[in-house]
Amino acid sequence: MNRSAGDHRDMESPAEGEVIVANAPGRHAILCASGYLLLAVCLLLAGCLLVPGCTLLAPHGLLVEAVAVDAVAAPDNPAMVRVTATNTGSTTVTWGRGSSTCQLHLRVRIDGVEYFAPDGRVCTRDLRTHALGPGESRTEGIDWSGWIQRGEGPDTRERLAPGKYELLGAAGHVAHSAAMLIELR
């Protein structure tokens, strides 16, 4: 017969062959500890999404950070966002093809959906692979004045109404930064 230390029946001397388990964590304690650990991880990730400049490392080693130089945008005065991609891994990371001067971009998250943010930059017409070798990084300054693109083609551009919007720096669809809030006036 096994007893736990919480069982106070004649604790002075165990019966012959009886094992007393002292301080063994119960099933409830293990479930509670697991729940608290999961909650802590979720809070860390959620908190990171709300802190400007906070980043989450992608599994392939491409780290994207976005810092708002201006936290307010207007049609005649765009917000400047500095986007940096850094390869922290040991192999080259590729995220697409396109202009060699416009490799990083912004995305706007609205109700959980991310949209490309056209920015009006003049990009070269050369076609290059967008990639970074181990330890390399690239930074681009991108102005945002409140536009998104809801689909393909020029007729899908839309000017957003004034309000606060979540912007993310991105390297294609491979990696993006944590979201930051930009006010659009």
What pLDDT digit, counting tens, does each position of 152-165 carry? 877 899 999 999 99
Comparing CA positions, the residue from 111, 117, 110, 109 lying closest to residue 179 is 109
- Do 46 and 66 fall within a single domain? no
- Do 66 and 140 fall within a single domain? yes
- Do 69 and 159 fall within a single domain? yes
- Do 32 and 85 fall within a single domain? no
What CATH number corresponds to the domain at position 164? 2.60.40.10
What pTM value is reported for the model?
A: 0.69
Q: Can you give the length of the chain in residues?
A: 185
Tell me which residue range forms the domain holding 40.
2-50
Quick: pLDDT tens for 9-44: 444 555 565 544 444 455 554 444 444 445 444 444
Quick: pLDDT tens for 113-156: 999 999 989 999 999 999 999 999 999 999 999 999 998 877 89
- Residue 69 belongs to some domain of the structure: yes
Comparing CA positions, the residue from 183, 98, 113 lying closest to residue 151 is 113
> Which of 5-9, 25-29, 104-108 is the most confident on average?
104-108
- Residue 106 belongs to some domain of the structure: yes
CA dihedral 118, 122, 126, 129 (to 10 degrees): -50
The DSSP secondary-structure symbol of 90 reads S
pLDDT, position 11: 47
